[in-house]
Amino acid sequence: MSSESHTAPPVTTDPVQVMAPDGTVVDPDFLATIPREDIVALYEAMLAQRVYDDRMIKMQRQGRLGFYLACTGEEACSYGPAYALEPKDWFYPAYREPGVALWRGMPFQAWVDNMVGNCDDPVKGRQMPVHWTAREQNIVSISSPVGTQIPQCVGSAYAAKLRGDGGVSICFFGEGTSSEGDFHVGLNFAGVWKAPAIFFCRNNGYAISTPYEKTTATEHIALRAHGYGIRGVVVDGNDVLAVIKAVREAAEWGRAGRGPTLIEAKTYRIAAHSTSDDPKGYRTREEEELWLARCPLKRLRAWLEAEGLWDEAKEQACTEASSARIIAALTTAESKPHPELDTLFSEVFADKPPHLVAQQAELEAHLASGTADYKSR
């Protein structure tokens, strides 16, 4: 083999940044490539997402949802890639990428139906809330076991390379997942075969409650890229424009046949890991205040206001409209019935195997006996 095939691309550890936390532009050339109306739309979408997250958490606390994971503070890490990539590209999300689905056109009602688990839930109530899928938008179902999406992403990226259709695949995961075996398998395979894959690591500092320094010895996750012979980049994950830039460059690299990129987005989850978590047990208020000052919405709003593109009246109007939208969607979702019982056994195999046929018959007989009342529940 040639020496070129064993030469790892450089790893960029100085964070890619377009806009500083105070809204000051540090990369005007890239900023000029994004239409101003798109920047306004991105801010509106991220602000709306924050409203949705707040409402969903309240629903869970009221006992109307079983579970929820907010992406508060990490909105740029989903809306940025969704904006940067093309309709033909494939997305393998983790837990905090609702922006990918909503920006790319997943019907809002379908997203909310998943949270409730009604008959119109795209996954028919088979998954927990926040485990949606959007096949029409090339978005693969979220999986609870962390890391499974990494080799899956590589598989579809390699398939695109074999087809020659110019598509790329992107997967999302947290820094804790980078210690899973699937991370090694995926990056190694992608590096060897130069699959056009983008590995997007949201490094928010904690794997649930375990701090980064207790799981990883390297200063940056992106440094691991060198060991797999692939490109590695660190990006300011609270700068949505920088995220767009990093993902665009990674996609161009992959489409050109140069292989995958590992992107490490430095960010912070302002909210708890989930509605089952209380971060007060492992984070300090001082740390939270430090990251609140770097909030992705705060910095973008500062720039928009300085440019005369946003003001308090628009902020209030967007917040109220988003609140009304989520309340209406939740009201509709709760009015719908549960999935039909036979969906427990359908849509898994093209031809239902004998053991599922037998199990379905047994359950239906049990219900018909009058000793169980599924419909009332």
The whole domain housing 320 covers: 3-335
Which tens digits make up the pLDDT trace of 263-283? 999 999 999 999 999 999 999
Confidence of residue 344 (pLDDT cuts 50, 70, 90): confident
**How far, in Å, CA of 352 to CA of 345, rounded?**
8
Please tell me the total count of domains within the chain. Answer: 2
Same domain, 200 and 345: no
In sequence order, what E strands does the chain have? 11-16, 90-92, 169-174, 197-203, 206-207, 210-211, 231-236, 261-266
Of the listed 36, 135, 282, 366, which one is catalytic? 282
CATH for 30:
3.40.50.970
Which tens digits make up the pLDDT trace of 72-131? 999 999 999 999 999 999 999 998 999 999 999 999 999 999 999 999 999 888 888 899
Asked if 282 is an active-site residue, the reply is yes
Same domain, 194 and 238: yes
Same domain, 171 and 307: yes
Nearest to 232 by CA among 5, 3, 13: 13
Which tens digits make up the pLDDT trace of 176-214? 999 999 999 999 999 999 999 999 999 999 999 999 999
| pLDDT at residue 6, as a whole number | 62
pLDDT at 375 over 70: no
Q: 63: alpha, beta or left, given left = phi > 0 and alpha = psi -120 to 50?
A: left
207-223 burial, b at 16+ Cβ within 10 Å, e below that, comes to beeeebeeebeeebbbb
**How far, in Å, CA of 177 to CA of 150, rounded?**
10
Same domain, 120 and 12: yes
Of the listed 96, 131, 202, 269, which one is catalytic? 269
> pTM of the predicted model, to two decimals?
0.94
Same domain, 114 and 247: yes
Gyration radius of the chain's alpha carbons: 22
Of the listed 273, 283, 299, 301, which one is catalytic? 273
Tally the C-alpha atoms within 13 A of residue 346's C-alpha that lie toward its C-beta: 8
Lowest mean pLDDT among 229-243, 326-340, 348-362: 348-362
Confidence of residue 4 (pLDDT cuts 50, 70, 90): very low
Same domain, 301 and 370: no
Which tens digits make up the pLDDT trace of 136-179? 999 999 988 999 999 999 999 999 999 999 999 999 999 999 99
Asked if 269 is an active-site residue, the reply is yes
**How far, in Å, CA of 237 to CA of 204, rounded?**
9
Same domain, 234 and 362: no
The β-bridge partners of 78 are none
Same domain, 77 and 185: yes
Asked if 273 is an active-site residue, the reply is yes
